[in-house]
Structures are given as structure tokens and as C-alpha cells.
């Protein structure tokens, strides 16, 4: 579904793309940009769509323009476990692999700048400056995964919840668009309580108790199940058990 006239997508004028400066594409030369314009197209997926299933042929890659995608892996007994989240400007899909190791599901409505995987692999060979940027991005992603593993393994549930809320407060886009009357930032967590609990390695009941504790302490105000007004960012950092610098670094990846 091509949309070359849309300035908010990578298949049009890339310098006008809303994620251009945060994606790997910003390293592309004018020649490389022209080639990206030719091989990319915009695809939209409604919330709940499995964009690519675990074990399916890995045939598309690209950048997320809008929305949030969750990565999950099915265990031997059939249970699904969330292993990661992708936000706008994150790279979607697995290069240099025949099949997808994870399932990619649209948590919200998602707009994806999609490219044929083999075509993009050839593009990287022709344009090493973008391949270099891709390698840096993947190394940053690996560092973030390791840091998140340390948090989930060595921290209390409260610390994990506070960290998650801080990360979403930084990474969720346009959080105040529907709450312009509020003076404090609104954190949008598009996952269900069950998904959040799975991601944090806890139960929905324990998760709810910790959210209520933060609300009673006036760190957050619960607007609804997926929106929270952030009242005291410093206290949220304190509850996370991490430094603000470390949290900012995790959220930036």
C-alpha cells in the first residue's frame, strides 16, 4: 500500500518523516535515501493484528512510524510470554534469518514503513553507512535488553512497575494529546494489565496493588486502566531504585 505523497512516511520525503531523525535512516546519503524511497511502503495494522507470527517466514522489515508492537514467544506448553516492546523509530523484523523467532503483534493501531527483507539486506550491502547505523542501533537494543533483565531479576515488583511507568512516560508519543487540560504528563501504557504483569514477571493482582500504592502516595493519578497522570517524577524515580540517568538511557533506546 504505497503512499509516497504522505510526508509522515519513509516512502515520501524522508527529511519530513516524523521519525527520520530517530531512525537508522538518518545516516543515509541522498543516493541511499532515493533507494529507500523506492523499496519502502507504508502498511497499517489495526490493534490486535499479528503482523508476523512466530516461526513464519521473515519476509518484511522496517521502521515503526506510529504505535506500539509487542514481541512474544510461545513456550513448550503453549503459553505466550512478552519478550520486548517496539516503539516509534524502532526497527521491526529480523534480518538475515529465514523465519521469525518471535510473534509481532500490534498493541495499538500501528503504522509501519515496510520493506522486503531481502531487498533491504541488499540495500545494506550497497550502503555501509546505514548498515553501520543499524549495527549501532542493535547493540544499543542489546544493552537495553540486558539492563531490563537486570531490573526484572534483581528488583522488587514496585521497582519494576515504577521503571516501566518512567520508560512509557518518555517513549509514548503525544501522551497529552487527549488530556490537554492536565498540567502534568500523562503516561499511556497500551498493554493490558495481564500483559504488563507478564512483561514484569508478576501477577495482575500484585501489579494492581503496586499501582494503587503509587496512587495513594500521589506519585501518579489513575485516569483509567491505561492512562496515568504523572504527579511526581522524582518520586517515581526513587521508587524505581535506579538513577534518573540510567532510566533516561533505558528509555532512549
Q: Tell me the CB-side half-sphere exposure of residue 69, using CA atoms within 13 A.
A: 28
173 and 72 housed in the same domain:
no
70 with 185, same domain? no
Q: Are residues 123 and 163 in the same domain?
A: no
* Structural domain ending residue among the three candidates 137, 166, 192: 137
Mind listing the pLDDT tens digit for each residue in 144-181? 778 777 777 778 999 999 999 998 988 755 444 444 44
**Is 2 within the bounds of a domain?**
no
The confidence band for 10, taking pLDDT boundaries of 50, 70 and 90, is very low
Residue 150 in domain: no
Mean pLDDT computed over 37-46? 91
Q: Lowest mean pLDDT of 4-18, 52-66, 80-94, 131-145, name the range.
A: 4-18
Residue-wise pLDDT tens digits, 57-72: 888 999 999 999 999 9
Residue 8: pLDDT above 90?
Answer: no
Strand ranges, E, within the chain = 40-45, 50-52, 60-66, 69-74, 80-86, 91-92, 103-106, 110-116, 186-188, 220-224, 227-230
In which domain, by residue range, is 206 found?
A: 155-252
Residue 130 shares a structural domain with residue 161: no
6 pLDDT band, cuts 50/70/90, is very low
Q: Are residues 107 and 178 located together in one domain of the fold?
A: no
Cell matching residue 121:
539486506
Closest CA relative to residue 227, chosen from 171, 185, 170, 199: 185
Q: Is the same domain home to 178 and 244? A: yes
Residue 16: the pLDDT is: 67
Q: Give residue 253's pLDDT.
A: 63
Residue 34 has pLDDT above 70, yes or no: yes
Residues 66 and 99 in one domain: yes
Residues 127 and 177 placed together within one structural domain of the fold:
no
Where b means 16+ CB within 10 Å and e means fewer, 209-244 reads ebbeebeeeebbeeeeeebbbbbebebbbebbbbee
The pLDDT of residue 152 is 73
Contacts of 203 (CB under 8 A, 6+ apart): 197
The percentage of the chain sitting over the pLDDT mark of 70, rounded to a whole number, equals 87
b/e string for 114-133 if b means 16 or more Cβ within 10 A?
A: bbbbeebeebbeebeebbeb
The phi, psi pair for 180, rounded to 5°, reads: -65, -15
In a domain, 239, yes or no: yes
Amino acid at each position: 500500500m504505497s503512499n509516497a505523497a504522505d510526508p509522515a512516511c519513509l516512502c515520501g520525503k524522508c527529511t519530513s518523516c516524523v521519525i527520520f531523525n530517530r531512525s537508522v535512516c538518518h545516516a543515509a546519503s541522498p543516493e541511499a535515501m532515493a533507494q529507500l524511497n523506492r523499496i519502502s511502503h507504508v502498511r497499517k495494522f489495526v490493534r490486535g493484528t499479528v503482523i508476523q507470527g512466530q516461526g513464519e517466514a521473515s519476509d518484511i522489515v522496517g521502521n515503526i512510524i506510529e504505535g506500539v508492537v509487542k514481541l512474544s514467544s510461545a513456550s513448550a506448553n503453549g503459553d505466550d510470554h512478552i519478550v520486548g516492546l517496539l516503539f516509534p523509530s524502532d526497527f521491526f523484523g529480523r534480518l538475515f534469518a529465514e523465519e521469525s523467532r518471535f510473534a509481532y503483534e500490534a498493541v495499538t493501531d500501528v503504522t509501519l514503513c515496510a520493506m522486503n527483507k531481502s531487498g533491504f539486506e541488499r540495500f545494506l550491502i550497497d550502503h555501509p553507512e546505514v548498515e553501520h547505523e543499524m549495527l549501532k542501533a542493535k547493540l544499543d537494543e542489546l544493552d537495553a535488553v540486558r539492563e531490563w533483565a537486570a531490573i526484572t531479576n534483581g528488583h522488587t515488583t514496585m521497582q519494576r512497575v515504577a521503571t516501566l511507568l518512567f520508560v512509557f512516560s518518555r517513549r509514548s508519543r503525544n501522551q497529552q494529546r487527549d488530556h490537554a487540560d492536565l498540567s502534568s504528563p500523562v503516561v499511556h501504557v497500551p498493554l493490558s494489565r495481564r500483559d504488563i504483569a507478564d512483561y514484569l514477571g508478576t501477577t495482575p493482582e500484585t501489579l494492581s496493588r503496586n499501582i494503587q500504592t503509587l496512587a495513594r502516595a500521589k506519585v501518579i493519578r489513575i485516569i483509567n486502566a491505561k492512562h496515568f497522570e504523572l504527579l511526581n517524577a522524582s518520586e517515581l524515580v526513587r521508587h524505581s531504585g535506579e538513577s534518573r540517568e540510567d532510566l533516561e538511557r533505558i528509555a532512549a533506546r
